[in-house]
């Protein structure tokens, strides 16, 4: 089975840890972390990912900016993007989906739900 790669972008180290920990339950999925959208763009420019998970509110470049950038280039136009939002981000969710986000999940991260969603989006290798 080929190894698949996830990019996890969040300015909260504890949330990145929770997300990476949950994704560790998925076989052959390797995670790379970035601390904000700008770092996410740098990392995604230099490597290929099978899925991107991103926070919404981050310094420098937020989740909406990252989604817009990913969708604007051919190499990442089709990569599944899951945005982690808070309940109060209802208005932003519409913007995120309009910008091309594939799905969003509400924080705090529900590990089984996250694993199920990412597994579904990755499909069969
Ligand atoms: Mg944040």
pLDDT digits (tens, 9 = 90+) for 16-72: 999 999 999 999 999 999 999 999 999 999 999 999 999 999 999 999 999 999 999
Residues 54/44, Cβ–Cβ less than 8 Å? no
Q: Which domains does the chain have, with CATH numbers?
A: 4-118 (3.40.50.2300)
Q: Mean pLDDT, the chain, as a whole number?
A: 94
Average pLDDT over residues 5-13: 98
For residue 11, report the distance from its CA to the centre of ligand 1, in Å. Answer: 5
As a whole number, mean pLDDT of residues 71-91 equals 93
pLDDT tens track for 31-43: 999 999 999 999 9
Say how many Å lie between the CA of residue 5 and the centre of ligand 1: 22
| CB 14 within 8 Å of CB 39 | no
Q: From ligand 1's centre to the CA of 87, what distance in Å?
A: 13
Distance CA 84, CA 15 (A): 10
Q: What is the DSSP secondary structure assignment for residue 15, as one 8-state letter?
A: H
């Amino acid at each position: 089975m080929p190894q698949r790669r996830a990019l996890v972008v969040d300015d909260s180290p504890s949330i990145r840890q929770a997300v990476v920990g949950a994704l560790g339950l998925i076989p052959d999925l390797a995670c790379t972390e970035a601390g904000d959208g700008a770092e996410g763009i740098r990392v995604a420019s230099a490597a290929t990912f099978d899925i991107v998970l991103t926070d919404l509110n981050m310094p420098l470049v937020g989740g909406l900016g990252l989604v817009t950038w990913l969708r604007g280039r051919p190499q990442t136009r089709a990569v599944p993007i899951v945005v982690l939002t808070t309940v109060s981000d209802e208005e932003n969710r519409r913007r995120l989906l309009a910008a091309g986000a594939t799905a969003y999940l509400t924080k705090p991260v529900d590990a089984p739900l996250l694993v199920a969603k990412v597994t579904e989006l990755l499909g069969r290798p």
